[in-house]
């Protein structure tokens, strides 16, 4: 063992620097299943308190759905706890094949391959299908896992301004000499809650002979009229070459992700994608639970419809109460506070009022764009949201920000 003091001290200094910047993350302990209402111990050691959860990705309320839990139990009883293998050695069960087929049907693609997570799907897909004759052109606000995946790939990297089609077109023109042009975007952007204009992106891809990649993690299960995703919302199902998504949000909330799309691309991932080849198969209780989730969301749109009702209520009520929100059409509703400290203070006070939210600031979002990200769930109901709104109004009044616009908040608190 060698853990010299020079190293030990350097680590401590780095941790102290994170604390001094005010960006040290502390976990809060939840003493109940994941749900719209949860019991939370925070700070550590305090008695847990019941709060409304406005910051989970449990969009469809599937994380603790009794039928999903029962299906996971059955999977555990009938197929065991884990696979003790990667997929291609002895880690593939009939359940994996079924889940991949069901995801293909649900997403309207040609084929699907499961990964341990969508982070892994994004980490592996680019390197598996692109080479140094190609270019990846990504929206600047794509998820960190895409940025990491792109860095592992030998293709040229380029970016375009967030959702700016003129800029994307300029980039596509610039890169006409490449073998493959791959346009890369999130479907719903996780921090802003806005949608990638996939109809326009597909039109540009057709005009400039490019492929399209969409990470639909914050959309699969509820965007579009039957919940297939942002491609359904914009009526471009079948025109997206690569969709990555997660089973860790609306589609069950446990873990697992996938690459879904053109069959050759999926097959290349099966042969070459390193996070797929060198990581254990998704465990049986999760594959069984995810199959049940897909059965439920394919049979009825009731949950995504309820989510839409909640989202519409919240998007209307929060600005009416005097807050500034980011416009969008997703259940992610950022309440803008602009100042980093203000976002932390408001989140802390809301917790005392029974509302669990997190304040985000630079570098997670752009400097001067601090916010509280609220996320709707089908498991919320209107009375619950009305109570949360009252808490927001109380805390907003305490800080004197109700009715202030961006300029007003910045004048009062600075950036």
Partner 1 sequence: MKQTILDYIKNEYIDEDEADEVELDENTTLISSGIVDSFSMVSLKRFLEKKYSISIPDDQATPEAFNTVASIIQLVEKFKK
Binding site for partner 1 (CB under 8 A): 138, 140, 147, 157-159, 161-162, 164, 362-363, 366-367
C-beta of 362: minimal distance to partner 1 in Å? 6
Nearer to partner 1, 264 or 327 (CB): 327
Rg (CA), the chain: 22
Q: Tokens at residue 61, please?
A: 């309320």
Q: What are phi and psi of 254, to 5 degrees?
A: -85, -80
- Name the one residue in this structure whose structure tokens are 């040609």: 110
Q: How far is Cα of residue 86 from the mean position of the Cα atoms in its chain? A: 25
Nearer to partner 1, 138 or 391 (CB): 138
Positions marked catalytic: 190, 218, 249
Q: How far apart are the C-alpha atoms of 198 and 202, rounded to whole Å?
A: 6
- Would you tell me how many other CB atoms lie within 10 Å of the CB of residue 394? 15
Nearer to partner 1, 397 or 415 (CB): 415
C-beta of 161: minimal distance to partner 1 in Å? 6
Q: Where are the alpha helices (DSSP H) in 130-279?
A: 144-151, 165-174, 198-207, 230-233, 263-272, 274-277
Q: What are phi and psi of 183, to 5 degrees?
A: -85, 130
Nearer to partner 1, 163 or 307 (CB): 163
Nearer to partner 1, 178 or 304 (CB): 178
Nearer to partner 1, 97 or 179 (CB): 179
C-beta of 184: minimal distance to partner 1 in Å? 11
Q: How far is Cα of residue 179 from the mean position of the Cα atoms in its chain? A: 30
Neighbouring-strand partners of residue 214: 185, 243
Neighbouring-strand partners of residue 158: 137
C-beta of 177: minimal distance to partner 1 in Å? 13
C-beta of 395: minimal distance to partner 1 in Å? 27
C-beta of 126: minimal distance to partner 1 in Å? 14
The torsion of the CA quartet 363, 368, 372, 376, rounded to 10 degrees, works out to -90
Q: Tokens at residue 144, please?
A: 């960190």
Reference 327, options 115, 163, 131; nearest CA is 163
């Amino acid at each position: 063992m060698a853990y010299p003091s020079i190293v030990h001290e350097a680590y401590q200094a780095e941790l102290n620097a994170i604390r001094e910047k005010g960006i040290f993350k502390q976990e809060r302990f939840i003493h109940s299943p994941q749900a719209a209402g949860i019991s939370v111990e925070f700070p550590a050691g305090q008695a847990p308190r019941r709060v409304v959860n406005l910051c989970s990705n449990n969009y469809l309320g599937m994380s603790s759905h009794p039928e999903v839990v029962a299906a996971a139990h059955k999977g555990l009883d009938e197929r065991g706890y884990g696979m003790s293998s990667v997929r291609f050695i002895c880690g593939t069960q009939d359940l994996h094949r079924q889940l991949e087929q069901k995801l293909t049907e649900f997403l309207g693609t040609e084929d699907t391959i499961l990964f341990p997570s969508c982070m892994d799907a994004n980490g592996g897909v680019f390197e598996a299908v692109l080479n140094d004759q190609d270019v990846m052109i990504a929206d600047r606000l794509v998820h960190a896992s895409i940025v990491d995946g792109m860095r592992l790939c030998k293709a040229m990297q380029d970016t375009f301004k967030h959702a700016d089609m003129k800029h994307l077109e300029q980039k596509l023109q610039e890169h006409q000499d490449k073998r493959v042009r791959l346009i890369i975007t999130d479907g719903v952007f996780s921090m802003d809650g806005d949608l990638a204009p996939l109809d326009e992106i597909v039109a540009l891809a057709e005009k400039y002979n490019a492929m399209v990649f969409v990470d639909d993690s914050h959309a699969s299960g509820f965007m579009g009229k039957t919940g297939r995703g942002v491609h359904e919302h914009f009526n471009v199902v079948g025109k997206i070459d690569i969709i990555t998504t997660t089973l860790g949000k609306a589609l069950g909330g446990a873990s697992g992700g996938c690459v879904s799309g053109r069959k050759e691309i999926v097959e290349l991932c099966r042969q070459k994608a390193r996070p797929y080849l060198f990581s254990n198969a998704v465990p049986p209780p999760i594959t069984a639970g995810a199959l049940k989730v897909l059965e439920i969301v394919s049979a009825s749109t009731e949950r995504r419809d309820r989510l839409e009702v909640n989202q519409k209520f919240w998007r209307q009520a929060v600005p009416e109460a005097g807050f500034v929100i980011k416009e969008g059409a997703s259940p992610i509703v950022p309440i803008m506070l602009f100042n980093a400290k203000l976002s932390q203070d408001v989140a802390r006070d809301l917790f005392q009022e029974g509302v669990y939210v997190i304040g985000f600031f630079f570098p997670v979002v752009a400097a001067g764009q601090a916010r509280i990200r609220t996320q709707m769930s089908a498991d919320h109901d209107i009375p619950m949201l009305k109570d949360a709104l009252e808490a927001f109004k109380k805390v907003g009044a305490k800080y004197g920000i109700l009715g202030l616009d961006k300029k007003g908040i910045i004048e009062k608190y600075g950036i």
